Amino acid sequence: MSLVFYSLHSMSPAMELLSHLSLLSFFLVSLLLMTPSYAGDEEHRRSYIIHMNKSAIPDPFAAHHSWYEWILSSLPESDGESPTHLYTYNHVMNGFSAVLSSSQLAQLERMPGHIATYPETYGQLHTTRTPHFLGLNRHVGLWPTAHFGDDMIIGIVDTGIWPESESFSDDGMPPVPARWKGACETGTEFNSSNCNRKLIGARSFSKGLKESGLNISTTGDYDSPRDFFGHGTHTSSTAAGSPARNADYFGYAPGTAIGIAPMARVAMYKVLFATDSLVSASTDVLAGMDQAIADGVDLMSLSLGFPEDHFYANPIALGAFAALEKGIFVSCSAGNSGPHAYTIHNGAPWITTVGAGTIDRDYAASVTLGNGSIAPFQGRSIFPESLYTSGSPLYYGHGNTSKETCDSYALDPKDVAGKFVFCSFGDVNSQMDEVSRSGAVGGIFATDSAQFLNPSDFYMPFVAVSLQDGEKVKEYIVTSSPASPATVDITFQLTVLGSKPAPQVADFSSRGPYQISPWILKPDILAPGVNILAAWAPNRGWQPIGNDYLVTDFALVSGTSMSSPHLVGIAALVRAVHPDWSPAAIRSALMTTAYLIDNTHGPILDMITGTSATPLDFGGGHVNPTKAMDPGLVYDIGVQDYLDFLCGLNYTSDQMMVITRKSNYTCTNPSLDLNYPSFMVILNNTNSTTTRFTRVLTNVEEGPAVYRAVVYAPTGMSVVVKPETLKFEGENSRQGFEMRVEIDMAKTDMVRIESDYIGNYGYLSWHEVGGKHVVRSPIVSAYGP
Ligand SMILES: *[C@@H]1O[C@H](CO)[C@@H](O)[C@H](O)[C@H]1NC(C)=O
Ligand SMILES: *[C@@H]1O[C@H](CO)[C@@H](O)[C@H](O)[C@H]1NC(C)=O
Ligand SMILES: *[C@@H]1O[C@H](CO)[C@@H](O)[C@H](O)[C@H]1NC(C)=O
Ligand SMILES: *[C@@H]1O[C@H](CO)[C@@H](O)[C@H](O)[C@H]1NC(C)=O
Ligand SMILES: *[C@@H]1O[C@H](CO)[C@@H](O)[C@H](O)[C@H]1NC(C)=O
Ligand SMILES: *[C@@H]1O[C@H](CO)[C@@H](O)[C@H](O)[C@H]1NC(C)=O
Ligand SMILES: *[C@@H]1O[C@H](CO)[C@@H](O)[C@H](O)[C@H]1NC(C)=O
Ligand SMILES: *[C@@H]1O[C@H](CO)[C@@H](O)[C@H](O)[C@H]1NC(C)=O
Ligand SMILES: *[C@@H]1O[C@H](CO)[C@@H](O)[C@H](O)[C@H]1NC(C)=O
């Protein structure tokens, strides 16, 4: 079981403390904090999700809600307490949630129509330049063609929203679409006047969390859609924020912050609250998704995850399946549990699972040594103040060999007072602590891991320089003399655009395959998720500086939490151009047109190894919005195909009923071979295997077209495609093909994900004959979980 913050570094000071605990102990801590202490009490009351067979509703009841109420009222009190009803679900499942004692539950489970019970589980959260980086242009391409996402409604299931942010201004927005059924709920510091033509709905779901014994108001969070933490404000403004002029993060990344689909509408469903930690209850998440479906969102994004379990026991997978049946596109964060294999979250095949990549923007300080005889160079810094220091004395504790230069208690406050300390190679974070403790002015750190430092690490005038530049600094200091002591000039707050190589796969981004259904390649795609600038809740200090915290309207945040809203914004644009496309067709267009090459014209790299990333890191590749509008062909998937996939998993009829909410579902062709735009071969402890795939392509261009198969396969993988040429008559015409993939691992170099040797990969591309379209899919083999 693993539990993850889906946004890194986006933690309050208290949360930062928790994040340093191991994931396991954090999980235990959370459970201890969340479980009311009825130790030893047989009648322990807990929250449960109860799935019912709606077809078994007894005659007298007109509506299922009154049936459920009757069931609850018919249960006896236990220890003087009656069951407490939490929610009745109308879309995501048939049933309700309630707080019950174990004897009440046992009785309920014997009643006719009961299908399954799942105890409450708790989920965790897993952030301008990105429109430009993604190639979105005001005048040509996807933005103007999609009218900037006009009329699309994006539901964000998250920590709430800060409605006063400039990113949610409705200047120039047309009236709210008449089909919208949502509402703006009143609660703590929030009422209907906080919504407008941009933020068209805002609701809050906390019953389940409160029942677990958490008191929302003790941490200052709002029992309303208002965002206390900042995360939901960030994800919403990333997906669909209005242009916010003069946005910056303490001088870094200045410019106009703008969402990916700036004319789309936002509806917030708050399900995550800052209590002792930042958690959500499964009953609340189901209620939020249920309401989003009822309100009529077109797309949904979730940047949170629950412990991974089978689809029938995972609230996000359940909610997303119901959404899919209504044609709603659902995108989710892949998780921040990378870089090891099999760390994917939210990998249900009807969800678009999004990994995180870097962008081509970096933050820097410029360093000039002494009298300038050495050319000035740049180091990484995100110190949040416009600071220029000139002629500052430089200190390097190289005289004392008993301690490394900046180890704990190696620096003597008397020696470093008024100086910048130079620290040679070591653990940067602990060196920063030591420089801070010593009372020095600031620090220069020689490191090869500057790219992994977060904004919050720069709470003092710190600069991280490369090892080569570190050697220059060291050389300069040791050759200086008392007569001409070492000094440095530093200019902070520089923003570097076009930094290379970009994108790279972020170190934290979760990697495939997906434990629960390894037969479908996950993640699906990569989108920006490192140091993303977007709106934040200015309600409290955020960026540490010295012993204090600075308040900000815009924050730089990293995580797959940030990549999902980018992807959903792009999906909204594609959907605005192609309103008749299914969620699977939109995903196929995004995946088959994604790119694999970075801005140095080399393969996209894995940030942590510095070597080529693989489809197990990025799925189809890095999202390419403008091409996604015009994919040529798509691999479409309908509801029945997903049912056949579930049938192929050999789920029992009760488990099928939980997901499909019907007893009359049919298995027309049980199969794990979905019509997916990627191919996955699971080796399962053998070195060789042959797998056959069947696929159908749909032409989404006007007019006839001919495509030819082009295979790239490494040694040890042989691929045969039949037929090799597909002729399409016109728009919506479909053609099938079969592909046989033979793997012999003994003959091949295996893909390495961190230290996990896992399989190999190639590509199948359909090239349009005499045309420009290329429809590319990865073919991946991997050992079973
Ligand atoms: C649901 O109830 C209907 C009607 O009573 C019954 O025919 C069906 O078998 C039930 N389904 C399941 C999965 O229990
Ligand atoms: C909402 O709250 C604001 C500020 O408290 C208040 O001025 C306004 O009248 C309220 N609006 C409604 C519809 O209650
Ligand atoms: C929650 O905390 C607030 C502030 O500490 C307190 O006033 C309130 O009574 C608490 N509520 C519950 C239900 O414990
Ligand atoms: C600059 O300083 C270095 C050593 O600190 C010295 O060797 C050099 O002569 C100086 N150059 C000038 C132009 O003062
Ligand atoms: C070197 O560091 C050690 C440990 O901090 C200290 O005890 C010792 O006095 C230092 N020696 C010199 C020469 O500064
Ligand atoms: C489902 O059952 C069939 C028949 O017993 C078996 O061949 C197949 O491997 C099973 N599938 C899974 C995913 O367990
Ligand atoms: C299942 O039953 C519902 C009504 O109970 C009906 O609307 C639906 O068409 C049926 N589906 C199938 C696949 O038979
Ligand atoms: C791998 O094989 C084992 C037994 O050989 C089986 O239990 C397991 O379900 C298989 N896993 C997959 C992913 O096919
Ligand atoms: C699979 O291939 C690897 C690498 O060539 C080899 O070490 C291993 O023994 C092989 N395993 C089997 C079951 O053949």
Write the pLDDT tens digit of every residue in 89-130: 999 999 999 999 999 999 999 999 999 999 999 988 763 334
pLDDT over threshold 60, residue 672: yes
DSSP result, 689-726: EEEEEEEEEEE-SSS-EEEEEEEE--TTEEEEEESSEE
Neighbour order of strands in the sheet with 532-535: 7-8, 554-559, 532-535
Atom of ligand 7 nearest to the CA of 55: 5
Q: Tell me which ligand sits closest to the C-alpha of residue 683.
A: 8
Query: Rounded mean pLDDT of 311-336?
Result: 97
pLDDT band at 235 (very low <50, low <70, confident <90, very high): very high
**Quick check: 215 and 269 in contact, CB under 8 A?**
no
Query: Rounded mean pLDDT of 709-718?
Result: 96
Confidence (pLDDT) at 655: 96
Query: Rounded mean pLDDT of 463-478?
Result: 93
Q: Is residue 6 part of a domain?
A: no
Give the lowest-confidence range in 29-33, 200-204, 290-294: 29-33
Atom of ligand 5 nearest to the CA of 401: 1
pLDDT over threshold 50, residue 27: no
Beta bridge partners of 199: 266
Q: What are the φ and ψ backbone dihedral angles of 725, each rounded to 5 degrees?
A: -130, 135
pLDDT over threshold 70, residue 29: no
Nearest CA to 348 out of 398, 313, 383 is that of 313
Same domain, yes or no: 282 and 349? yes
Atom of ligand 5 nearest to the CA of 409: 5
Find the 718 Cα to ligand 9 centroid distance in Å: 18
pLDDT digits (tens, 9 = 90+) for 543-552: 777 777 777 7
pLDDT digits (tens, 9 = 90+) for 475-490: 999 888 888 899 999 9
Q: Is residue 5 part of a domain?
A: no
Atom of ligand 7 nearest to the CA of 663: 1
pLDDT over threshold 60, residue 34: no
3-state secondary structure of 681: strand
Domain boundary residue, one of 99, 119, 139: 119
pLDDT digits (tens, 9 = 90+) for 530-544: 988 888 888 877 777
Q: Is the CB of 475 under 6 A from ligand 4?
A: no
User: Could you give the CA distance from residue 156 to residue 224 in angstroms, rounded to a whole number?
Assistant: 15
Is 158 annotated in the active site?
yes
Tokens 């998993």 belong to residue = 649
Beta bridge partners of 389: 490
Confidence (pLDDT) at 134: 65
pLDDT band at 425 (very low <50, low <70, confident <90, very high): confident
Same domain, yes or no: 449 and 354? no
pLDDT band at 738 (very low <50, low <70, confident <90, very high): very high
CA atoms within 13 A of residue 597's CA, in its CB half-sphere: 5
Find the 293 Cα to ligand 2 centroid distance in Å: 28
pLDDT over threshold 60, residue 16: no
Same domain, yes or no: 667 and 728? no
Query: Rounded mean pLDDT of 558-567?
Result: 95
Confidence (pLDDT) at 256: 75
Q: Whose CA is nearest to atom 1 of ligand 6?
A: 650
User: 616: part of which helix (H) or strand (E)?
Assistant: helix 615-618
pLDDT band at 18 (very low <50, low <70, confident <90, very high): very low
**Quick check: 609 and 649 in contact, CB under 8 A?**
no
Q: Tell me which ligand sits closest to the C-alpha of residue 414.
A: 5
Same domain, yes or no: 183 and 331? yes
**Quick check: 779 and 717 in contact, CB under 8 A?**
yes
Same domain, yes or no: 336 and 197? yes
**Quick check: 557 and 530 in contact, CB under 8 A?**
no
pLDDT over threshold 80, residue 254: no
More confident residue, 248 or 782: 782
Same domain, yes or no: 136 and 271? yes
Query: Rounded mean pLDDT of 656-684?
Result: 94
Confidence (pLDDT) at 17: 24
Same domain, yes or no: 485 and 508? no
More confident residue, 182 or 132: 182
Q: Is residue 8 part of a domain?
A: no
pLDDT band at 174 (very low <50, low <70, confident <90, very high): very high
Q: What are the φ and ψ backbone dihedral angles of 180, each rounded to 5 degrees?
A: -70, 130
Q: Is the CB of 373 under 6 A from ligand 4?
A: yes
Testing ligand 3's pocket by substitution, the residue of 207, 212, 215 carrying the most ligand atoms inside 8 A of its CB is 215
Is 678 annotated in the active site?
no
Kindly state the DSSP code that residue 184 receives in the 8-state scheme.
B
Query: Rounded mean pLDDT of 661-674?
Result: 92
Find the 112 Cα to ligand 1 centroid distance in Å: 10
Find the 358 Cα to ligand 5 centroid distance in Å: 42
Q: Where are the beta strands (DSSP E) in 130-275?
A: 153-158, 199-204, 244-249, 252-257, 265-270, 273-274
pLDDT over threshold 70, residue 146: yes
Structure tokens at 446: 């020689």
User: Residue 194's domain is classified under what CATH number?
Assistant: 3.40.50.200
**Quick check: 190 and 206 in contact, CB under 8 A?**
no
What is the sign of the dihedral through the CA atoms of 70, 72, 77 and 80?
negative
pLDDT over threshold 90, residue 597: yes
Query: Rounded mean pLDDT of 347-366?
Result: 94
Same domain, yes or no: 480 and 607? no
Beta bridge partners of 495: 363
User: Residue 684's domain is classified under what CATH number?
Assistant: 2.60.40.2310
Same domain, yes or no: 242 and 349? yes
Confidence (pLDDT) at 481: 87
Q: Among the options 51, 64, 91, 231, which is catalytic?
A: 231
More confident residue, 290 or 557: 290
CA dihedral 352, 49, 662, 92 (to 10 degrees): -40
pLDDT digits (tens, 9 = 90+) for 47-68: 999 999 998 999 888 889 999 9
Atom of ligand 8 nearest to the CA of 784: 13
Q: Among the options 158, 290, 524, 641, which is catalytic?
A: 158
Find the 783 Cα to ligand 6 centroid distance in Å: 18
Confidence (pLDDT) at 20: 23
Find the 214 Cα to ligand 3 centroid distance in Å: 10
Total domains in the chain come to: 5
Query: Rounded mean pLDDT of 163-177?
Result: 95
Q: Is residue 514 part of a domain?
A: yes
- Write out the residue range of the structural domain in which residue 65 sits: 13-119
Tokens 């301008």 belong to residue = 128
Q: Is residue 4 part of a domain?
A: no
Same domain, yes or no: 221 and 164? yes
What is the sign of the dihedral through the CA atoms of 150, 151, 152 and 156?
positive
Same domain, yes or no: 149 and 206? yes
Q: Whose CA is nearest to atom 11 of ligand 3?
A: 215
Testing ligand 3's pocket by substitution, the residue of 207, 209, 210, 218 carrying the most ligand atoms inside 8 A of its CB is 218
User: Could you give the CA distance from residue 563 to residue 413 in angstroms, rounded to a whole number?
Assistant: 43
Find the 462 Cα to ligand 4 centroid distance in Å: 25
Across the chain, mean pLDDT equals: 88
pLDDT band at 749 (very low <50, low <70, confident <90, very high): confident
Confidence (pLDDT) at 104: 96
User: Could you give the CA distance from residue 101 to residue 42 in angstroms, rounded to a whole number?
Assistant: 8
Confidence (pLDDT) at 131: 56
Whole-angstrom CA distances from 411 to 148, 178, 403, 435, 477 are 55, 66, 9, 7, 16
- The Cβ of residue 22 has, within 10 Å, a number of other Cβ atoms equal to 8
Whole-angstrom CA distances from 339 to 18, 24, 532, 578 are 21, 17, 20, 35
pLDDT over threshold 60, residue 338: yes
Percent pLDDT > 90 in the chain is 69
User: 659: part of which helix (H) or strand (E)?
Assistant: helix 653-660
Confidence (pLDDT) at 276: 59
Is 407 annotated in the active site?
no
Q: Is residue 346 part of a domain?
A: yes
Computed on alpha carbons and rounded to an integer, the radius of gyration of the chain in Å comes to 27
Same domain, yes or no: 168 and 287? yes
Q: What are the φ and ψ backbone dihedral angles of 94, each rounded to 5 degrees?
A: -100, 115
